[in-house]
């Protein structure tokens, strides 16, 4: 029996629901000799900011039990170079490109989006990294405040007709409330979860293992947090949810889909194997074959329990 792998989010049809997560797959152009990137449902790029950024001082990553902590500081080439150097390369890609945008004010995000819209390259969607401090809002992260999330989403919605995805942080009191703000602001979908804050100390040197001390924890260690967040979000909104956090296998991805996700992103697992997303996809298809699902989209919300 053949399994239909396609999924539709907003008005975009993806060949399958397995994407690679922002920050774990560069600009999407680095691995095309190692991995058949065209078999991925989509590539979500590193966060793009108005200006180029060096990012934080090293060390910026450390392995932790069942995961890792990073604090890269949004290192990227800036929107102008991104347009000049990356957009032309995307022309030959069959997979879909989702450009992740970050900023420290509403105008930062708006500037990046406006420039990308003018450049009119082959981008299919924007994912908005709202886990950034708003320098005009008391340095509070956009992601922790429903009002700031609503304002930012509305401003960006006015600037694009492309698929608009707001990426949510788990480090909030009520993630459903923030998801609702994104939905009310006109987002087509939300993705969750961004990293969970964490710290790791080298006891022999009595120093932090990464220069900034606190960073973002990712990998299998956070999967139960991600699955719970996706489930809570699907109860709060009617737009699709893209689930992520610690997916390393088809079964992990199916878990997110059962919790309510319409698609998933594979992140930290790409550091061990850049083809991890393809393995996840193949294993999801096998799961469907073995469990009587005729399409991957049937998995979304197929949880049998009520809560
Ligand atoms: C960084 C940004 C993130 O959104 C995250 O989850 C982890 C790290 C960063 O660029 O430092």
pLDDT tens for 148-197 read 999 999 999 999 999 999 999 999 999 999 999 999 999 999 999 999 99
Give pLDDT, residue 1: 65
8 A C-beta contact, residue 35 and residue 57? no
Nearest-atom index, ligand 1, CA of 102: 4
Distances (CA, A) of 245 to 16, 20, 28, 173, 213: 18, 11, 19, 18, 21
Among protein residues, the one whose CA lies closest to atom 6 of ligand 1: 195
Question: Is 132 noted as a catalytic residue in this protein?
Answer: yes
Q: Is 70 in the pocket of ligand 1 (CB under 6 A)?
A: yes
The low-confidence residues of the chain, meaning pLDDT below 50, are none
List, in order, residues 6 or more apart from 177 with CB less than 8 Å away.
146, 236
List, in order, residues 6 or more apart from 281 with CB less than 8 Å away.
5, 16, 18, 39, 40, 41, 250
Q: Is 216 in the pocket of ligand 1 (CB under 6 A)?
A: yes
d(CA 55, CA 73): 4
CA of 91 to the centre of ligand 1 (A): 27
d(CA 301, CA 103): 33
Residue 65 class from Cβ within 10 Å (0-12 exposed, 13-18 middle, 19+ buried)? Answer: exposed
Give pLDDT, residue 34: 86
8 A C-beta contact, residue 146 and residue 140? no
Give pLDDT, residue 306: 77
Among protein residues, the one whose CA lies closest to atom 10 of ligand 1: 74
DSSP state of 133: B
d(CA 165, CA 149): 12
Instruction: State the pairing for strand pair 67-70/214-218.
Output: antiparallel
Q: Which CATH superfamily does the domain covering 7-56+73-199+217-299 fall into?
A: Aldolase class I (3.20.20.70)
CA of 136 to the centre of ligand 1 (A): 20
**The pair of three-digit structure tokens given for residue 148, joined into one six-digit string:** 């700031």
């Amino acid at each position: 029996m053949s399994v239909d792998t396609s999924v539709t989010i907003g008005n975009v049809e993806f060949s399958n629901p397995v994407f690679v997560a922002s920050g774990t797959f560069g600009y999407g152009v680095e691995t095309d000799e190692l991995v058949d990137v065209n078999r991925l449902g989509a590539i979500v790029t590193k966060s793009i900011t108005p200006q180029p950024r060096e990012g934080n001082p090293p060390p910026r990553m450390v392995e932790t039990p069942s995961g890792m902590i990073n604090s890269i500081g949004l290192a990227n080439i800036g929107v102008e170079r991104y347009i000049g150097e990356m957009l032309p390369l995307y022309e030959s890609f069959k997979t879909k490109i989702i450009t992740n945008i970050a900023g420290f004010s509403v105008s930062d995000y708006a500037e990046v989006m406006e420039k990308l819209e003018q450049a009119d390259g082959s981008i299919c969607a924007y994912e908005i990294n709202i886990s950034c401090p708003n320098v005009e809002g008391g340095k509070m992260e956009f992601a922790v405040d429903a009002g700031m999330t609503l304002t930012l989403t509305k401003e960006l919605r006015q600037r694009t007709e492309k698929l608009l995805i707001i990426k949510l942080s788990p480090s909030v009191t009520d993630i459903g409330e923030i998801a609702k703000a994104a939905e009310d602001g006109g987002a087509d979908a939300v993705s969750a979860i961004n990293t969970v804050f964490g710290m790791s100390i080298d006891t022999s040197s009595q120093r932090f293992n990464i220069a900034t001390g606190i960073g973002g924890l990712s990998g299998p260690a956070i999967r139960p947090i991600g699955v719970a967040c996706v489930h809570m979000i699907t109860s709060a909104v009617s737009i699709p949810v893209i689930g992520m956090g610690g997916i390393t296998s088809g079964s992990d991805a199916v878990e997110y889909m059962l919790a309510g996700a319409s698609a998933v992103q594979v992140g930290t697992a790409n550091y061990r194997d850049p083809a991890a997303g393809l393995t996840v996809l193949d294993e999801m298809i096998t799961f469907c074959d073995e469990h009587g699902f005729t399409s991957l989209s049937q998995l979304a919300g197929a949880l049998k329990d009520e809560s």
